[in-house]
A and B are shown apart, each in its own frame.
Chain A
Amino acid sequence: MMMKYCDQQAASLFSAKLSPGTRCVPVTLVLLALFAVSFFGPSFASRAADSTNAPANAATNATTAAQLLDLPIDQLVKVEYIEVTSVAKKVTRLEQSPAAISVVTQEDMQRLGITTVPEALRMVPGIDVARIDSHEWAISARGFDAQFANKLLILVDGRTIYGPAYGGVSWGTQDMVIQDLDRIEVIRGPGASLWGANAVNGVVNILSKSSRETQGLLVSTDVGTEDRPTTSIRYGDQIDTNLYYRAYLKYFDREGLVLSDGSSAMDQWNGIRGGARMDWEPPTGDKFTLQGDYYSDFLHDNENVVILAPPYVQNTNALNHDYGMNMLGRWTREFSENSGLSIQAYFDKFKKEQVGTSETRNTFDLDAQHRFEIGTRNDIIWGLGYRYTEDRFPSDFYLTWLPDHRRDDLFSAFVQDDITLAPDRLHVTLGSKFEHNAYTGYEVQPSGRLLWTPSERQTIWAAVSRAVRTPTRYETGARVNYSVFTLPPGSPAPLGLATLIGNPNVQSEELAAYEIGYRIEPTRRLSFDLATFYNHYDHLLRYVPNPQIDLIPVVVYPQTLQNSGSADSYGAELSAQWKMLDNWKVSASYSWMQVKLHPDDPSFQGNPEYQVKFRSYLDLPYNLEFNTAVYYMSQQTAAAGLGEATIPSYVRLDQGLVWHPYHRLEIGLWGENLLDNQHPEFPSLKSSLQTEIPRTFTGRVTIKF
């Protein structure tokens, strides 16, 4: 049931305008009811976690040391230790997170033969992963998927890789030694109060293992119809007590994909990356991390080029060189189990080329975070951050940047209070992020989350949040001549020129999100997770046609950027995990979404109505594994090179057979997209060519010395 918020009650409190035609759902009544429950809730029977009465439930409940030591060994092997950090910026148990969160583990990546980070996200419920061409992906959550999907914030080990130039992520350059990734945490829904602007529809946190967990020499090679080959080498060692490091080198050479007629799309790419990481944990309770990477990729890219002579718009296959480096250092000090301090600094430098232009960017970021308790009820985290970024963009006929050189500061602060209303029963988390950015000034992004644990096996959570998406460099200062076409005789000029004009005076896009979720674990082998949401977007940016300008030799048809869009979306994501047998695990997810756009602009597209995902992990005798993933995506419409394209729905089947003859050796064979010769997943914004994903086979050998 869709909830429409009503301004009428709010009007008397905040002098907000009453918006006509809105049905006044009793939002206030619902909130007052929840308020009453939270107030009176703790006075209901408060059960102390009694582990001796219910051994079957003891494992989920045993948290204090004494309780742990009371457990018999068959229960101790079932206790889970705490893991997730993204939701609360502190380590919490996955089941206790008041958000729609999923984790892709190293086991998932290993079993499905994942070769690139974007492919690791394909299995996450509700995440729309669509491959555009050999090195570009369109990835988003809860709608608005696009080549530069700007509503998802992505971080790698605490460093943001969301690009402020176009919004979105250049996924091709985010390649790492997959075996050294610990996990990828994905939150659907706004994470803005902790992570800041642009975490509108979700946050993806890619975390690599610490050096201590990646010791020794690892060599892994992928050979197949796409990888020709790809090789990773990593060596980790210990320098001193509690001082570990690792260094890696990865080289890949990947075949291009295909066009709709089966011919090569000529978008092959190759690259090299290398890096190192050092971790030091002296017994004083401090932790130090220092890591750095360097990459250099050569990409063959299909791009539209626009010229004032026939054929006016032409596809060019360009060879681009993208390279960059980054360094990150972090110091964490734990004062006690629930208090600590963390300071992080990183530097990121890259150059990204495309036809006629390039982006050179240097970013420096400094972040501090402090966690402490007030009494036994309030767990507070607060932090300050500063980011400096400078860029340079040469211009050409197709794309002009105004200015072509910018230096921007971003100041941010956040605070969050995790309040225990009833221990082990009811928690409320209130927080907000405050930012000052160089495009729109001050932004405030508050959120409130409620977590209710009615029984050991069930969790209910609810959240209300506000998030903003700040305009990109492209939206505020780029002028794009994206098409030239002939005009009929009698027109003021023989040619027409379609131009997109950026606007430095636009404001941020806004989201008001309401979410409710439910988790239940009926048995230790079966669990369900349901997340529902209602999002209202305002001030969405879109290009609006302006009156034509008659010049010689072209008539210019300009479109300027305005905050004149809005949208409402609602949906649900249901996922289940079932350990059917000791050697057979199955997981499935079903997501459904409806989006109402005002108006129906192509740049607001990328909203598939259904996504169904299924995975099966089967362990066979003789150290063999047979792993399967099936994906169904309903059709999607999205902005494409010169307009809009509709991608038909598809079913994709990936399967893999993995053999571990002994623990140092792994040999695997995977087939992807087995049901189709090829299928398209998403159109490109830069080119009119539609690239399709062919059937792929990959073999991998991994040896640990």
Chain B
Amino acid sequence: MGWRLALLWLVGVVLLSGLMPAKADSQGPSEAQLKAAFLMSFPKYVEWPAAAFAQTNSPVVLGVLGDDNTAGALEEMIASTHKTVNGHPIMVKRIGSDDDLTNTCHLLFVGPSERARFGAIVAKVKDAHVLTVSQSEDFLAQGGMINLVPKDRRLHLEVNLTASSQAHLKIGSALLSVADVVKGKAN
């Protein structure tokens, strides 16, 4: 039968594959990797007040609360790329729910499982110039600043400008123009 012949051919191809020069393969990113890429890219489009960084090369700290998978993906991505933003190296910090949230990070990613406490968390970092990010429908309504929305295998952005400007953070127009939803106004 023809299929046996075709299979014989394919087996031959397998045997010859060993002669080909090797090269690194690539596949698409997973959702966690794409999310980590967003979190590491946000500092490029956000201006913190000068007081947020002790020196010009102090690290940008990305805090992750209640989402070990995202924290892990971020740690892997930083370890493999050693990226910097405007001269600031990037650091990840895993934050427990009872930790002190002020003066710990510049960006705080709150895991969607913390949705019951969004309001409380946002209130804790209100005056600390922290960019709050999450992935949950409620987040912006509770005072969060950026929401990631998975849709059709892509991550979309929603932004709450009122919240970010209250924290004296300036979100660049490049980011705002690609967001699906921008609520509120900057003062």
A, B bound: yes
Chain-A contact segment, one of B54-62, B102-110, B160-168, B171-179: B171-179
**CB within 8 A of A27: which of B2, B31, B137?**
B2
Inter-subunit contact B29/A512 (CB<8 Å)? no
Given A27-B5, A31-B9, A35-B9, does the pair A107, B14 have CB atoms closer than 8 Å?
no
Chain-B contact segment, one of A65-73, A364-372, A563-571: A65-73
Q: How far is the CB of A14 from chain B (nearest CB, A)?
A: 6
Q: How far is the CA of A73 from the CA of B137 in the complex (A)?
A: 21
B residues near A31, Cβ cutoff 8 Å = 5-6, 9
Mask of B1-27 contacts with A, CB within 8 angstroms, 1/0: 111111111111110111011111111
Q: Which residue of A lies closest to B153 (CB)?
A: A80
Q: How far is the CB of A645 from chain B (nearest CB, A)?
A: 35
B124 within 8 A of A: no
Q: Which residue of A lies closest to B21 (CB)?
A: A42
Given A64-B26, A377-B17, does the pair A283, B72 have CB atoms closer than 8 Å?
yes
A273 within 8 A of B: no
Inter-subunit contact A512/B3 (CB<8 Å)? yes
Q: Which residue of B lies closest to A9 (CB)?
A: B5
Q: How far is the CA of A421 from the CA of B21 in the complex (A)?
A: 9
**CB within 8 A of A6: which of B2, B11, B26, B34?**
B2
Chain B contact residues: helix, strand, loop or mixed? helix
Q: How far is the CA of A636 from the CA of B57 in the complex (A)?
A: 72
Q: How far is the CB of B41 from chain A (nearest CB, A)?
A: 6
A514 within 8 A of B: yes
Q: How far is the CA of A10 from the CA of B113 in the complex (A)?
A: 60
Mask of A56-97 contacts with B, CB within 8 angstroms, 1/0: 000000111110110111101111111100000001110010
Inter-subunit contact A421/B29 (CB<8 Å)? no
A residues near B44, Cβ cutoff 8 Å = 73
B80 within 8 A of A: yes
**CB within 8 A of A375: which of B8, B16, B22, B30?**
B22
A212 within 8 A of B: yes
Q: How far is the CA of A13 from the CA of B68 in the complex (A)?
A: 56
Q: How far is the CA of A420 from the CA of B21 in the complex (A)?
A: 11
A residues near B76, Cβ cutoff 8 Å = 65
Given A34-B9, A417-B14, A423-B25, does the pair A16, B72 have CB atoms closer than 8 Å?
no
Q: Which residue of A lies closest to B77 (CB)?
A: A65
**CB within 8 A of B25: which of A5, A215, A420, A446?**
A420
Inter-subunit contact B30/A13 (CB<8 Å)? no
Inter-subunit contact A72/B174 (CB<8 Å)? yes
B residues near A242, Cβ cutoff 8 Å = 68-69, 113
**CB within 8 A of A81: which of B12, B66, B153, B177?**
B153
Mask of B143-162 contacts with A, CB within 8 angstroms, 1/0: 00000000111111100000
Given A13-B5, A65-B33, A65-B81, does the pair A424, B13 have CB atoms closer than 8 Å?
no
A residues near B8, Cβ cutoff 8 Å = 13
Q: How far is the CB of B148 from chain A (nearest CB, A)?
A: 10
B101 within 8 A of A: no
B residues near A9, Cβ cutoff 8 Å = 5
A residues near B14, Cβ cutoff 8 Å = 417, 419, 428, 430
Given A65-B80, A73-B175, A107-B152, does the pair A10, B11 have CB atoms closer than 8 Å?
no
Query: Which size class do B's interface residues fall under?
Result: 35 or more
B residues near A464, Cβ cutoff 8 Å = 2-3, 6-7, 10
Mask of B38-69 contacts with A, CB within 8 angstroms, 1/0: 10110011000000000000000000001011
B183 within 8 A of A: no
Inter-subunit contact A80/B41 (CB<8 Å)? no
B112 within 8 A of A: yes
A49 within 8 A of B: yes
Q: How far is the CB of A81 from chain B (nearest CB, A)?
A: 5
B185 within 8 A of A: no
B residues near A530, Cβ cutoff 8 Å = none
A residues near B10, Cβ cutoff 8 Å = 428, 430, 448, 450, 464
B37 within 8 A of A: yes
Most chain A beta-carbon contacts within 10 A, residue among B37, B40, B137: B37
**CB within 8 A of A65: which of B37, B68, B69, B177?**
B37
Q: How far is the CA of A448 from the CA of B14 in the complex (A)?
A: 11
Query: Which size class do A's interface residues fall under?
Result: 35 or more
Chain A contact residues: helix, strand, loop or mixed? mixed
Inter-subunit contact B151/A79 (CB<8 Å)? no
A residues near B38, Cβ cutoff 8 Å = 76
Inter-subunit contact B28/A69 (CB<8 Å)? no
Most chain A beta-carbon contacts within 10 A, residue among B10, B12, B156: B10
Inter-subunit contact A81/B1 (CB<8 Å)? no
Inter-subunit contact B154/A77 (CB<8 Å)? yes
A548 within 8 A of B: no
B115 within 8 A of A: yes
A281 within 8 A of B: yes
**CB within 8 A of A514: which of B2, B26, B31, B153?**
B2
Q: How far is the CB of A615 from chain B (nearest CB, A)?
A: 14
**CB within 8 A of B113: which of A32, A212, A446?**
A212
B residues near A77, Cβ cutoff 8 Å = 154-157, 178
Inter-subunit contact B68/A241 (CB<8 Å)? yes
Q: Which residue of B lies closest to A6 (CB)?
A: B2
Q: How far is the CB of B74 from chain A (nearest CB, A)?
A: 11
Cβ < 8 Å to B, chain A residues 370-407: 375-378
Given A74-B178, A105-B152, does the pair A69, B77 have CB atoms closer than 8 Å?
yes
B residues near A216, Cβ cutoff 8 Å = 115
Q: How far is the CB of A516 from chain B (nearest CB, A)?
A: 12
Mask of A492-525 contacts with B, CB within 8 angstroms, 1/0: 0000000000000000000010100000000000
Q: How far is the CA of A664 from the CA of B11 in the complex (A)?
A: 55
B residues near A140, Cβ cutoff 8 Å = none
Inter-subunit contact A10/B178 (CB<8 Å)? no
Inter-subunit contact A35/B3 (CB<8 Å)? no
Inter-subunit contact A49/B1 (CB<8 Å)? no
**CB within 8 A of A76: which of B20, B25, B30, B41?**
B41
Q: How far is the CB of B146 from chain A (nearest CB, A)?
A: 11
A684 within 8 A of B: no
A466 within 8 A of B: yes
Mask of B78-97 contacts with A, CB within 8 angstroms, 1/0: 00110100000000000000
Given A28-B5, A81-B33, A241-B68, does the pair A42, B20 have CB atoms closer than 8 Å?
yes
A255 within 8 A of B: no
Most chain A beta-carbon contacts within 10 A, residue among B20, B40, B112, B113: B20
Q: How far is the CA of A91 from the CA of B33 in the complex (A)?
A: 14
Inter-subunit contact B137/A663 (CB<8 Å)? yes
Q: How far is the CA of A422 from the CA of B16 in the complex (A)?
A: 12
A38 within 8 A of B: yes
Contacts A/B (CB < 8 Å), 15 sampled: A14-B4, A34-B9, A63-B26, A65-B80, A69-B37, A73-B174, A77-B156, A79-B29, A79-B154, A80-B154, A81-B155, A92-B27, A92-B28, A244-B113, A419-B14
Shortest Cβ-Cβ A-B pairs, 7 listed? A5-B2, A448-B10, A63-B26, A464-B6, A82-B28, A68-B37, A80-B153
List 12 extra interface pairs beyond A14-B4, A448-B7, CB under 8 A. A5-B3, A31-B5, A69-B77, A73-B178, A79-B29, A80-B152, A212-B113, A417-B14, A419-B13, A430-B11, A448-B6, A465-B3
